């Protein structure tokens, strides 16, 4: 009887045990987590309506690092740190109004949908990006309208980052 009980109980005890998979599915946000960098300078354009119509008046280039942290299954925190920045190239007039400075580090919240994510800062859309395992490509556009509208943007899909290993 003792042997019969052992034969019955041992399989029942281990019935619910499953072998854990070492390739457990990660949420999209967790797949993006880590350090990213711009391998080349990204050109940004300052724009304002200080002279009337909203137009570009200068450009500058930046290299930066991003630290992406998952804050939910489909939400990320993106912190920018500056690597290097070129001086401004004046391409038009801003009628004597100052350019809005970019202070570092910058911090954004991203919402991931499929292979895209949008970045917000203070609940204002700042950028839309596509991503693969090792690349992020997108467009930034920051526009603030207090006394007059001013901000900075990149051309479409020219903001490119690669994963740092």
CA pair distance 128, 4, nearest whole angstrom:
65
Structural domain boundaries in the chain = 26-163
Query: Residue 58: which of 72, 74, 43 has the closest Cα?
Result: 43
If you classify domain 26-163 with CATH, what class do you get?
Answer: mainly beta
pLDDT tens for the chain, 165 residues long, are 555 444 444 444 434 444 434 334 557 778 899 999 999 999 999 999 888 888 999 999 999 999 999 998 899 999 999 999 998 899 888 888 777 777 889 999 999 998 999 998 877 888 999 999 899 999 999 888 877 888 899 999 999 999 997
CA pair distance 110, 78, nearest whole angstrom:
7
Give phi and psi for 96, each to the nearest 5: 80, 0
């Amino acid at each position: 009887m003792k042997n019969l009980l052992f034969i019955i109980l041992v399989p029942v005890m281990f019935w619910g045990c499953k072998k854990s998979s070492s390739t457990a599915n990660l949420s999209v946000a967790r797949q993006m987590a880590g350090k990213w960098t711009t391998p080349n300078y990204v050109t940004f354009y300052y724009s304002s309506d200080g002279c009337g119509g909203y137009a570009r008046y200068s450009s500058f280039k930046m290299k930066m690092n991003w630290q992406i942290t998952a804050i939910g299954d489909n939400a990320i925190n993106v912190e920018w740190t500056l690597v290097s920045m070129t001086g401004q190239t004046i391409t038009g007039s801003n009628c004597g109004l100052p350019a809005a400075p970019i202070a570092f580090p910058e911090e954004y919240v991203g919402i991931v949908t499929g292979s895209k994510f949008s970045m917000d800062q203070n609940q204002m859309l700042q950028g839309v990006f596509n991503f693969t395992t090792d690349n992020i490509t997108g467009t930034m556009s920051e526009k603030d309208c207090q006394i007059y509208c001013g901000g900075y943007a990149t051309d479409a899909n020219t903001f490119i980052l690669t994963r740092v290993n």
